[in-house]
Structure 1
Amino acid sequence: MADSKREIERKYEADPATRLPDLTRVAGVHSVAHPGAVELDAVYYDTVDLRLAADSLTLRRRTGGADAGWHLKFPVAAGIRDELREPLSDTLPLPFARLLRSRVRDRALVPVVRLVSARDVHHLLDADGALLAEVAVDRVRAERLTGGGATAAWTEIEAELADGGDPAFLDAVEHRLRKAGIRPSAALSKAARALAGTGPERSTGPADEPRPRTAGDHVLAYVRHQAEAIVALDPAVRRDLPDSVHRMRVATRRLRSALRTYRKVLDRDATGPVGDELKWLAAELGRERDQEVLDARLRARLDGLPRTLVLGPARGRLRIWSVARHDDFRRRTLAVLDGARYLALLEGLDALLAEPPLLPAASRAPGRVLPRAVLREYRRLAARVGHALELPPGRDRDMALHEARKAAKRARYAAEAARPALGRPAARFAARMKAVQSLLGDHQDSVVAREALRTLAVQAQAAGEPSFTWGVLYGREEAAASAGERELPKVWRRASGAQLRAALGG
Structure 2
Amino acid sequence: MADTKREIERKFEFTKPGAEQRGAPDLTGTAGIATVVDRGVADLDAVYYDTPDQRLAADGLTLRRRTGGKDAGWHLKLPVAPGTRDEVSAALSDTVPGPLAVLVRSRVRDAPLEPQVRLLSSRRTSHLLDAGGSLLAELSTDAVTAERDGTTATWTEVEVELADGSDPALLDAVQKTFEKAGLKVSDAPSKLARALAETGKEPPARPAPDPADETAGAYVLAYLRAQVDTLVSYDPGVRRNQPDSVHQMRVACRRLRSAFKTYRKILDREATDPIGEELRRLGEELGADRDREVLHEHFRAQLADLPHTLLAGPVHKRLRTWNSARRTATRRRALAALDHPRHLALLDTLDALLTDPPLLPQAAKPAAKALPKAILRDYRRLATRVDHALSLDPGQERDHALHDARKGAKRARYAAEAAEPALGKPARKLAKAMEAVQDVLGEHQDSVVARTALHDLTHQAHGAGEPSFTWGLLHGREEARAERSERDLPAVWAEASDRALRSALG
Q: Fold conserved (TM > 0.5)?
A: yes
Distance 1:286 1:383 in 2: 27
| Conserved 8 A contact 1:222-1:417 | yes
Q: Quick one: which amino acid aligns to residue 3 of structure 1? A: D
1:83 aligns with 87
1:133 aligns with 137
Distance 1:493 1:299 in 2: 34
Distance 1:133 1:207 in 2: 38
| Conserved 8 A contact 1:212-1:221 | no
Instruction: Report the TM-score when normalising by structure 2.
Output: 0.97
Kindly report which structure 2 residues correspond to 1:319-338, keeping only aligned pairs within 5 A, or say none.
Answer: 319-338=320-339
1:500 pairs with 2:493: no
Distance 1:121 1:308 in 2: 59
Q: Match of 1:286, SS? A: helix
Q: 2:28 aligns with which of 24, 43, 51?
A: 24
| Conserved 8 A contact 1:402-1:440 | yes
2:463 aligns with 462
Distance 2:407 2:500 in 1: 21
Change (3 A) 1:503 1:22: closer
Q: How far did 1:202 drift?
A: 4.4
Q: Quick one: which amino acid aligns to residue 46 of structure 1? A: D
Q: Match of 1:265, SS? A: coil
2:387 aligns with 386
Q: How far did 1:502 drift?
A: 5.2
Q: How far did 1:167 drift?
A: 0.8
Q: Match of 1:89, SS? A: coil
Distance 1:330 1:480 in 2: 29
1:352 aligns with 353
Q: How far did 1:125 drift?
A: 1.1
2:10 aligns with 10
Distance 2:91 2:430 in 1: 52
Distance 2:123 2:159 in 1: 10
Q: How far did 1:19 drift?
A: 2.1
2:484 aligns with 483
Distance 1:176 1:383 in 2: 64
Q: Tell me the C-alpha RMSD between the 2 structures.
A: 1.3
Distance 2:502 2:466 in 1: 58
Kindly report which structure 2 residues correspond to 1:205-220, keeping only aligned pairs within 5 A, or say none.
Answer: 205-207=206-208, 209-220=210-221
Q: List per-residue Cα deviations over 1:363-407 (Å, max 9, x = no partner).
A: 000111101111111111111111111111111111110011001
Q: 1:114 aligns with which of 115, 118, 123?
A: 118
Task: Report percent identity of matched pairs.
Answer: 61
Q: Match of 2:205, SS? A: coil
Instruction: Report the TM-score when normalising by structure 1.
Output: 0.97
Q: Quick one: which amino acid aligns to residue 18 of structure 1? A: R
Distance 1:485 1:288 in 2: 28
2:303 aligns with 302
Q: 1:66 aligns with which of 63, 67, 70?
A: 70
Q: Match of 1:49, SS? A: coil
Q: 2:98 aligns with which of 94, 103, 116?
A: 94
Tell which deviates more after alignment, 80-89 or 104-113: 80-89
Tell which deviates more after alignment, 297-306 or 473-482: 297-306
Distance 1:323 1:17 in 2: 58
| Conserved 8 A contact 2:53-2:203 | no
Q: Match of 1:140, SS? A: strand
2:257 aligns with 256
Distance 2:49 2:372 in 1: 46
Q: Quick one: which amino acid aligns to residue 364 of structure 2? A: S
Q: List per-residue Cα deviations over 1:273-323 (Å, max 9, x = no partner).
A: 111111111111111111111111111112111111110111110111012
Distance 1:165 1:384 in 2: 53
Q: Quick one: which amino acid aligns to residue 334 of structure 1? A: L
Distance 1:493 1:208 in 2: 38
Q: How far did 1:170 drift?
A: 1.4
Equivalenced residue count is: 502
| Conserved 8 A contact 2:433-2:496 | yes
1:35 aligns with 39
Q: Quick one: which amino acid aligns to residue 9 of structure 1? A: E
| Conserved 8 A contact 1:266-1:356 | yes
Q: List per-residue Cα deviations over 1:26-45 (Å, max 9, x = no partner).
A: 23122111111110000000
Q: How far did 1:85 drift?
A: 0.7
